[in-house]
Amino acid sequence: MLDRLSTLIQAVEDADSSQLLLEAVQNLAAAHLEGAIPTLIAALSYNNPGAAVAAVDGLIQLGEPSVPALLEQLDRHNYTARAWAIRALAGIGDPRGLVTLLGVATADFSPSVRRASARGLGMMKWHWFPDDLLEIAQEEALEALLFVAQQDEEWVVRYSAIVGLQALTQVIPSTHPEWRSQIQSQFEQMATNDSSWAVRARVWMAQQTLQTQTGVQPAVEDHRSPLSAKDWQMILENLYDRKGEERLVLAEGDPRRYRGLAASIASQPNSL
């Protein structure tokens, strides 16, 4: 296995043309080996979009083990590599990427990155979240997606926001019918008023799908999360910081109400 990994990595490093680099990265990604993650991450910064797409696909397939390296990539100054890393985070749906996706979906200058982030917010691995943190996280995702659906000037981004909202609607707990009402109201407005026929058509599809699924229980997923208590505390603190930046004075949404939850999560064992 190590010999195979070394051979695949060497092929990437030795590639002396765009086509050879693309093929080498595709072969490395297809191997589904965790040891390939650093090389796939490096491929995100190459001036080769095809290789970057292959690397993103490979990182998504590898899933959770890719996330720490992807988050580290976000702190670097290469915007192109950062944009590809965000696409990979959106595709994986790991909760550690939540706050990044929230910020990018509503503020990044690249429509393609906003598009990937909006879709990713709806497809988050919500079944991993502890119950109390789930409510906070889903509320933030809902607010971000509604903002994108209402405000983004690019139809492809609004389209992805519809995809994200549809997915989010399917996992919203029954204790929050008002969230479903907000989404339904947004859909009704966009179905009539959105300037893009493609967006309107996607709204109609979402409405029909959700109508046929009314009363249907979602499939039971494995709720065991590979994340540690330290990871969850970091996610919570990042949400707290985001809330603090958004609002100076809050009532029900006051970020200070998260402090007790943070202390509770910090006191848990190393894994959930």
Which pLDDT tens digit goes with each residue over 137-170? 999 999 999 999 999 999 999 999 999 999 999 9
Tokens of 93: 């749906």
User: Please, which residues have CB within 8 angstroms of residue 17's CB and are 6 or more apart in sequence?
Assistant: none
258 has pLDDT over 60: no
Residue 101 confidence class, pLDDT cut points 50, 70, 90: very high
Residue 215 confidence class, pLDDT cut points 50, 70, 90: low
CA-nearest of 112, 123, 164, 113 to 143 is 164
Residue 11 confidence class, pLDDT cut points 50, 70, 90: very high
Mean predicted confidence (pLDDT) in 38-64: 95
Rounded to two decimals, the pTM is 0.83
| Residue 262: predicted pLDDT | 46
Q: What is the DSSP string of 222-267?
A: ------BHHHHHHHHHHHHHHHHHH-SS-STT-GGGHHHHHHHHHT
| 33, part of any domain | yes
The CATH number of residue 76's host domain is 1.25.10
| 11, part of any domain | yes
Q: Which residue has the higher pLDDT, 246 or 172?
A: 172
| Residue 185: predicted pLDDT | 96
Residue 251 confidence class, pLDDT cut points 50, 70, 90: very low
110 has pLDDT over 80: yes
| Residue 113: predicted pLDDT | 92
CA-to-CA distance for 46 and 42, rounded, in angstroms? 7
| 230, part of any domain | no
201 has pLDDT over 50: yes
User: Please, which residues have CB within 8 angstroms of residue 59's CB and are 6 or more apart in sequence?
Assistant: 29, 37, 40, 41, 66, 70, 88, 91, 92
Q: Which residue has the higher pLDDT, 76 or 174?
A: 174
| 178, part of any domain | no
CA-to-CA distance for 177 and 179, rounded, in angstroms? 5
Residue 91 in contact with residue 56, Cβ under 8 Å? Answer: yes
112 has pLDDT over 60: yes
Question: Which helix (H) or strand (E) is 106 found in, with range?
Answer: helix 98-107
Task: Find the domain containing 88 and state its range.
Answer: 1-92
The neighbouring-strand residues paired with 228 are 271
| Residue 259: predicted pLDDT | 41
| 37, part of any domain | yes
What is the tally of structural domains in the chain?
Answer: 1
| 161, part of any domain | no
| 123, part of any domain | no
| 28, part of any domain | yes
